[in-house]
Amino acid sequence: MKYYILFGPPGAGKGTQATAMAEKFNLCHISTGELLRAEINAGTELGVQAAALINNGKLVPDEVVEGMIASRFASVKGVDGFLLDGFPRTLKQAEALDELLDEDGEVVTAVISIMIPDEMIVERIQGRALKEGRADDASLATIQHRIDTYHAQTEPLIAYYKARGKYREVNGVGSIEEVREAIFNLF
């Protein structure tokens, strides 16, 4: 099985590019952000707890997202692999993923990182807020907090995956088609 990680700051376009990649390589796309938003919309207990964190630009606890990933790995059949979007987001999550895969004799295949500068993160998320109405996109303070969290907790994963020879990067500045092309050119 292939295990791809789509990496990048908030608003980099992970969700947009994931759809094309999942189709091309017959992968199951798992977006932890989308799974959490589904819990929020369904009004589950987990959703209520997650909303309080997400809507303030904070991460949900590692165990929560780790559990979501493990249950999809165990239940999804008929694909050639998985495309993780928004996970791992902390070093602890990256280590948990390695352990989970190791139980099945599997490893991370590659990390595809979509990079954009901080100013563009703000611009894109503010544009998306007008269209999608996500509560965590609504205020500049929340967006800024997510950027800070990205730099502090998620960016260290770049070194983690570089050290393991898994890291590939594309320029996320450009049209959706240009970025898609750059990603497909990696393979």
Structure-derived torsion over alpha carbons of residues 3, 8, 10, 12, reported in degrees to the nearest 10: -100
14 part of the active site: yes
- Only one of the segments 8-16, 53-61, 99-107, 117-125 lies at the binding site for Mg ion (rule: CB under 5 A); that segment is 8-16
Residue whose Cβ sits closest to Mg ion: 15
Give dist(CA 62, CA 96) in Å, integer.
Answer: 9
The helix/strand count (H/E) of the chain reads as 9, 5
User: Angle 148-158-11 (CA atoms, 0-180°, nearest 5)?
Assistant: 50
Query: Per rule CB under 5 A, is residue 13 in the interface with Mg ion?
Result: no
Q: Give me the least distance between CB of 89 and ligand ATP, in Å please.
A: 4
What DSSP element (H or E) covers 7? strand 2-7
The smaller minimum CB distance to Mg ion, of residues 19 and 106, is found at: 19
Please give the Cα distance from 50 to 61 (Å, whole number). 9
Annotated catalytic, 146?
yes
Closest distance between Mg ion and the C-beta of residue 85, in Å? 6
Mark whether 124 is an active-site residue. no
Least distance (Å) between residue 85 CB and ligand ATP: 6
Instruction: Give me the amino acid identity at 187.
Output: F
**Over the range 133-167, which residues count as b (16 or more CB within 10 Å of their CB) and which as e?**
eeebbeeeebbeebbebbeeebeebeebbeeeebb
Q: Which of residues 6-45 bind ligand ATP (CB under 6 A)?
A: 8, 10-12, 14-15, 32-33, 36
Among 30, 39, 111, 146, binds ligand ATP (CB under 6 A): 146
Rule CB under 6 A: is residue 172 a binding residue for ligand ATP? no
Residue 54 interface partner, choices ligand ATP, Mg ion, none, CB cut-off 5-8 Å depending on type: ligand ATP
Give yes or no: 37 in active site. no
Binding footprint of Mg ion on the chain (CB under 5 A): 15, 33
Residues annotated as part of the active site: 14, 89, 128, 134, 146
